[in-house]
Structure 1
Amino acid sequence: MLLEGKKLLITGVLMDSSIAFHVAKLAQEQGAEVVLTSFGRTTKITTAIAKRLPQTPPVIELDVTSEEDLAALPDRVREHVPHLDGVLHSIGFAPQGAFDFLSATWEDVSTAVHVSAFSLAALAKAALPLMSEGGSVVGLTFDARFAWPVYDWMGVAKAAFESTNRYLARDLGPKGVRCNIVAAGPIRTTAAKSIPGFEQFEEAWGSRAPLGWDVNDAVPTARACVSLLSDWFPATTGEMVHVDGGYHAIGA
């Protein structure tokens, strides 16, 4: 099995439609032991959804904007597994004001950047004491090389996220840890539903992607994440892997 004996920390399991849920499910099926994170009022939701996985994993408290939670992460993880072989960052949030580019306030923008970009570095740093040689950090993005309709400051935050991945690859590579991200096409998740006008992506994607695209199928994206969390990409870091039906390769 691809992840036999691996210990993984997976963030972002909120519903069984979420990409993170499918990563956790596939990871368990491939032999991994999984620990989930959640925080605040969403912990009850994550705990309930966790029961739908092949094995019910523990759920630990982690707010990636909380220095206290980040500092406590190693001890909280060690209550369940002795070390980590991989971490999935599936975290993103922007206030509604951030989806109006010219009217957004710095407060809105800074929140988006903190939660959706800086948190990748914060999570990787917090998990580093637990990471074994050959470990892997994998994040999820929506290709931020372009100015998309309606995405606005979340798109800017994702551009920062993608740059953060490259700098992490630079700094964590000498420690034996890889950092890569997966650029997924639009998936009908809870996060997507919070973006006003997100259906514009859904309508265009299926017709333009050479391989087609199913907005209800998170499995192809999950498979890419699991592959990057495995030992099958030992010399790949700082990379962005597209799982979008080929949409990114097509012009007008």
Structure 2
Amino acid sequence: MTLLAGKKILVTGVLTEGSIAFHVARLAQEQGAEVVLTSFGRQMRLTEVIARRLPVPAPVVELDVTSPEHLEGLAGAVGEHVDRLDGVVHSIGFAPQSVLGDKFLTAAWEDVATAVHVSAFSLKSLAVAALPLMGRGGSIVGLTFDASYAWPVYDWMGVAKAAFESTSRYLARDLGPQGIRVNLVSAGPVKTTAATSIPGFEAIEGGWDAKAPLGWDVRDPDPTARSVLALLSDWFPATTGEIVHVDGGVHAMGL
């Protein structure tokens, strides 16, 4: 039996074939899951094209995680394609350029608020919106970048990720009684569209491979995607509120 046989999974954040979310969706299908994707606005067309490159073309529903209307309609939109959700993957993040790249002291609250809303509060929004389709044994998995440190150039996105990680723990607390797990995968740097949009991203990824006991390939999203699948599966039935590091071991090493 495959890892996700018969499961119905909602995956956000598929923009290109290089995105971690695309590899999650691909592997999920290969492991027996039925997948639905989300996108919104001008990105819808791009996601629909990419969705046809999966092993099985996946439907795409519109979801702007800052839109109350989209969130209220999510269960109905997804319900047109699947009768339930066994898993939800949060792979959403955005910050204006004004809060990245050594602009920590000059960033305006309005732009910081956008980063926190899209990159952190959206985890709660997405979970609540998907809840009508989820039952006991469900799993919500998000992607983070270790918020324990003040990284070069990451600035307010790092603060948003810290809020994201805290949000996951509170969701684990409040959704646990309903049998729903909430966990995160903290990935090492991967050359995705989102990562390369960060000014000076090379300052983060540079030397990561040399620091990682297992080594690290910034061009390979597969290890991260496999970890997401493991947390979506039934093999972690009593794990929630956890952050699984998939970074070659860098998080455990001293400077």
- The TM-score by the shorter chain falls in which range? over 0.9
TM-superposition CA deviations, 1:88-134 (whole Å, max 9, x none)? 00000000011110000001100000000000000000001100210
1:167 aligns with 2:174: no
- Please report the TM-score for the alignment, with normalisation by the length of structure 2: 0.98
Aligned residue in 2 for 1:209: 212
RMSD between aligned alpha carbons? 0.5
Which residues of 2 match residues 68-147 of structure 1 at below 5 A? 68-99=69-100, 100-147=103-150
Alpha-carbon distance between aligned partners in 2 of 1:57 and 1:49, rounded to the nearest angstrom? 9
| Alpha-carbon distance, 1:14 to partner | 0.3
SS class of match (2:28)? helix
8 Å contact 2:19–2:221 — kept in the other structure? yes
Which residues of 2 match residues 172-191 of structure 1 at below 5 A? 172-191=175-194
1:31 aligns with 2:32: yes
SS class of match (1:45)? helix
For residue 160 of structure 2, what is the amino acid of its counterpart? A
Aligned residue in 1 for 2:14: 13
| Alpha-carbon distance, 1:200 to partner | 1.4
| Alpha-carbon distance, 1:52 to partner | 1.0
1:155 aligns with 2:166: no
Structure 1: tracts of 5 or more residues without a match: none
Aligned residue in 1 for 2:247: 244
SS class of match (1:210)? coil
Alpha-carbon distance between aligned partners in 2 of 1:142 and 1:154, rounded to the nearest angstrom? 10
Greater shift after overlay, 182-191 or 194-203?
194-203
Q: How many residues align?
A: 252
SS class of match (1:241)? strand
Which residues of 2 match residues 26-65 of structure 1 at below 5 A? 26-65=27-66
SS class of match (2:37)? strand
8 Å contact 2:135–2:178 — kept in the other structure? no
Greater shift after overlay, 73-82 or 199-208?
199-208
Alpha-carbon distance between aligned partners in 1 of 2:200 and 2:238, rounded to the nearest angstrom? 39
Structure 2: tracts of 5 or more residues without a match: none
Quote the sequence identity (%): 71
- Please report the TM-score for the alignment, with normalisation by the length of structure 1: 0.99
For residue 22 of structure 1, what is the amino acid of its counterpart? H
Alpha-carbon distance between aligned partners in 2 of 1:122 and 1:59, rounded to the nearest angstrom? 19
TM-superposition CA deviations, 1:43-85 (whole Å, max 9, x none)? 0000001111100000000000000000000100110000000
